[in-house]
Amino acid sequence: MTSAPISPEIAPLAAALSGQYDIERELGRGGMGIVYLAHDVKLDRKVAIKVLPPLLADTAEVRERFLREARTSARLAHPNIVAIYGAGEIESRVYFVMSYVEGESLAERLRREGVLDAGIVLPIIRDVALALAYAHERGIVHRDIKPENILLDARSGRAMVTDFGIARVAEAAPLTMTGQVLGSVHYMSPEQVSGDKIDGRSDLYSLGVVAFQALSGRLPFDNESASAVIVAHVTKAPPTLLSVAPSVPETIANVIDRCLAKSPDARYATGDALARALDEAWEKRRKPENLRAPLLSEQQAQAVWERAANLQAATASHPAPAIAPLPSTAPASLTSGIAMERVRESAVEAGISREHVERAAAELGLVRGSRARAELALSPPPNRPILGPLFAAPYRLQEDSDIEGEIAAGDYELVVDTIRGVLGDEGSVSSLGRSLTWSSRMLSRKGRNVSVSIVPRGGRTRIRIDERLGQIAGGLYGGIVGGTSSLAVFAASAAATATHSWVAAVAAGLAVELTTFSIARSIMGAIKNKRVKQLARLRQELEAEVRASIASPGAR
């Protein structure tokens, strides 16, 4: 934790506590208060004193509620829960004294390291799950599990949960979407967002979000708008952990995914059950049938890309030459390198099909087991016809949806945020009456030409997404095919010189043009397929936003 000298604002409290606690320095601060390191004079030990901010303690009712919650939390005695020694109020300043954990919070560690290995994360999540199980058995729900409230003891290595009961106090305070709520919105369970009755399974959802973040380096739902994150918790399915962190053992990823289920009934019933599931997942990951493929080195990934490109460019007259498997020069790694899924995605971005990437990996000996044997047994892929459709058309992509009910105009900001998040473009927004239109700004830079319209009318909301690929297709075919015309002329000239036959010369030139045309067509097809999936995803997310708006109070 960071340290800083005592500020004048704490001087009155420090003076009042003198003789019992000597406040030494500030340890940290956040939306829920300021934490100070102090020395317990009577018991000669270090303690931490947390002082609630005035926003939470400016009324007698809230102060009384805090003291009541502090007394309840003080009954918790567990090795993974920060012990509360006492609480009090001095001149309307509310504070509580707790054990001092020498170390750092999980939030500080994540800010420093970004992503943690599963072998580090699992003991932390397991400790917190056991702490929550203990508290839940005694009728206490934390309500604010997040990395800031998980402390890592440098001496024992234990993870310890702090701030039990503070969230319940915050609920009674006159807060807006700032402070505590804004700081915790990424970890709230769907039932907590909806204001439904919650139990311990709400804490397990929040803990699942923490695990997801620690293992992947990202949050399941993230947006600059807090309200958009809240809506997502209730209406959107989170991405699977493996889809964003493919190096995580699958058995472990499945446990975390279950914690993020929308329905509490679909999650683990107790923290003990979650801890047992984590133990079993950690053991199962060692079994051969559960081992994930090792990550690839940069050299291996480059070999896959080169071989896949050669396979895709091959024709009946110019087949790709045979290739030997790569030698095993380095041990398999599960913690460093490039995941095979990332290799596939990068190849697709470059216009190489997943089919050729898989075949290349198999030929190079980088895919193991029955799947590899099946891929190696495949016959060479047939040549793709140049005709039908000639240019991997169509060049206009559309997604339409018609939803019963009219979206509230006040929710258009969430809609625009969703469009920008999925497409990665700020775009331009215009409106006519109650209709909203969003248009991309990427035409001159990437050839992107997307428009989205939301039209509420006659008791229904129409969503229409339209993208035209003509410009990018023209640039692609013109650049690749036109750029190789000189190579075709050279090939024709060489063939004419060698064979003294104009037929051979024409055939050689045409072969070059057809090969480059086939490459351009494959790249265009890959781009089109990626855009189709992206627009379908955008339509689905917009449908969820519209339905959430219609279901909210005040919608037409």
pLDDT tens-place values along the chain, 556 residues long: 444 556 666 777 778 788 888 888 888 776 567 888 899 888 889 998 888 776 665 667 767 777 777 777 788 889 999 988 888 877 767 888 989 988 899 999 999 888 998 989 999 999 999 999 999 998 889 888 999 999 998 887 889 998 886 656 555 554 433 334 444 789 999 998 888 888 999 999 999 999 999 999 999 998 878 888 888 898 889 999 998 888 899 999 999 999 999 999 999 999 999 999 999 998 887 555 555 555 677 778 778 877 887 777 776 556 667 777 776 554 444 445 566 766 776 666 566 777 777 778 777 777 543 333 333 333 333 333 333 344 444 557 888 888 888 888 778 888 888 888 888 877 777 655 567 777 775 443 445 678 888 888 778 888 988 887 765 655 554 554 444 455 545 555 665 566 655 555 555 555 655 666 566 667 777 778 888 888 899 999 999 888 888 887 655 4
C-beta of residue 409 within 8 angstroms of C-beta of residue 434: yes
pLDDT value at residue 182? 40
Cα separation, 253 vs 250, whole angstroms: 5
Write down how long the chain is.
556
Separate counts of helices (H) and strands (E) for the chain: 22, 13
CA angle 483, 487, 491 (to 5 degrees): 155
Sign of the Cα pseudo-torsion (3, 54, 163, 265, in order): negative
By annotation, the residues acting in catalysis are 144
Q: First vs last Cα of the chain: how many Å apart?
A: 50
Amino acid occupying residue 93: R
Largest distance between two CA atoms of the chain: 107
Alpha-carbon distances, residue 449 vs 232, 439, 469, 477 (angstroms): 27, 8, 7, 18
Identify the burial level of 447 via C-beta atoms within 10 angstroms of its C-beta, where 0-12 means exposed, 13-18 middle and 19 or more buried: middle
CATH superfamily label, 103-290: Transferase(Phosphotransferase) domain 1 (1.10.510.10)
E-only strand ranges, 245-379 = none
pLDDT value at residue 67? 77
Options 3.30.200.20, 1.10.1740.110, 3.40.350.10, 3.40.50.300; CATH for 8-99 is 3.30.200.20
Of 48, 44, 41, which is closest to residue 25 (Cα–Cα)?
48
pLDDT value at residue 106? 94
Query: Which residues on neighbouring strands pair with residue 435, listed in sequence order?
Result: 432
pLDDT value at residue 278? 94
C-beta of residue 238 within 8 angstroms of C-beta of residue 229: no
pLDDT value at residue 332? 43
Dihedral of CA atoms 323, 325, 326, 331 in degrees, nearest 10, equals 170
